Structure 1
Amino acid sequence: MEEYMFDTNPYEEKMNAAFGFFQDELKKVRTGRAHAGMLDGVMVEAYGTKMPLNQVANITAPEAQMLLVTPFDPGNITAITSAIRDNQSLGFNPSDDGRVVRVPVPALTEERRRQLVKQVSEKVEEARIAMRNIRQDALKDAKRMKDAKELSEDDLKLVEKEVDSLMSKMQAQIDEAFKAKEKDVLTV
């Protein structure tokens, strides 16, 4: 009896990595509620170097439309306020009282919400394409092994079944993440 020699684990790992990337991409899409992650891309000029905001301040969302940024060193407050204001992609207008920076997060317009859902849909499509490519690689590698007589026809069928079941699991996770994010974006 020939030992079944095809390992689907590397492909599962690749799928999980692609799903992780997809989740990180989703986090970057704004929702109607304020959350600390909104300021992830902000770099602050502090101590003569550019640093991520979360390394020079604590960021909280005490209410749905407000972010509160508390500098670890009050000497950096002006630089922090400027860095947030100068980040065009955010479009925020922060103010500070010398101790904390308040960042009002404007509610999303209906049109903006639709744009964001479209953005999320595009990320879903990218994730699906990544999954399909990984699936094709796995099947191609298995077929190559069958042609080289390292796998039997039955083994190949087992591999296809296993890879397809992985695919279904990933698709379900992508759909779930999409629905949750869409709900977040559309919730006022």
Structure 2
Amino acid sequence: MISTVLTETKDKMAKAVESAKEDFATVRTGRANPQLFQKIMVNYYGTATPLEQLASLHNQDARTLLITPYDKSALRDIEQGIRDTPNLGANVGNDGIVIRASLPELTQDRRRDYVKIVRAKGEEAKVVVRNVRRKAKDELDALKSEVGDDEVARAEKELEAVTKNHVDAIDDALKRKEAELLEI
């Protein structure tokens, strides 16, 4: 029973770390990256649809992304969805076939703003990991009468070690992203 709780906890914490890394990838650096547009939602026939389901994304050059819709009638909706996305700052234009999203050069102030955004996302991920730990600790406490205090105490030590490893993984990813953002 204890091993089940710990295994489920490790899986949930690993998913939180992966989610944090994906969130970090959506914050732009100096280069255009299709992952920046991954979480953009487009109003497609009245339904919020992820951009990646409506179009293919390719780098044209370092600061320009080429967006080719699968359905040409969605061109204007996709363009509007990109324009409405906060913290992106992309200049968007279309030629009737493809959309070109040009990302302006980042200023030092903008880079600092992005670092703040990334730190907030990192803190949210750490909160998720801590919530998973708290839930697992409650489950372990409920097992005390069945397996004994010593087994639960050992499991709690392992739980703390697992939590620390996952929080450290988030911190490492955060440091890498901050360095990437501040790099000129």
3-state DSSP class of the match of 1:102?
strand
Unpaired runs of 5+ residues, structure 1, are none
Residue identity opposite 2:42 in structure 1: M
3-state DSSP class of the match of 1:94?
strand
Relative to the length of structure 2, the TM-score reads 0.81
Alignment of 1:47-86 (within 5 A): 48=45, 50=47, 51-74=49-72, 76-85=74-83
- The answer (yes or no) to whether the contact 1:26–1:123 under 8 Å persists in 2 is yes
RMSD (CA atoms): 2.4
Q: Could you say which structure has the larger radius of gyration?
A: 1
Q: CA deviation at 1:110?
A: 0.8
- The answer (yes or no) to whether the contact 2:89–2:103 under 8 Å persists in 1 is no
Question: Could you report, residue by residue, the CA deviation over 1:119-171 in whole angstroms, capped at 9, with x for unpaired residues?
Answer: 1111222222222222222223323322x2x1223212210221122112202
Over 3 Å counting, the alpha-carbon distance change for 1:80 and 1:130 in structure 2 is: closer
- The answer (yes or no) to whether the contact 1:56–1:72 under 8 Å persists in 2 is yes
Q: CA deviation at 1:37?
A: 2.4
Q: Which moved more, 1:132-141 or 1:163-172?
A: 132-141
Q: CA deviation at 1:88?
A: 4.9
Number of equivalenced pairs: 179
Q: Which moved more, 1:164-173 or 1:25-34?
A: 25-34
Q: CA deviation at 1:57?
A: 2.4
3-state DSSP class of the match of 2:65?
strand
Q: Percent identity?
A: 34
Question: Among residues 148, 158, 179, which one is paired with 2:175 in the alignment?
Answer: 179
Over 3 Å counting, the alpha-carbon distance change for 1:128 and 1:151 in structure 2 is: same
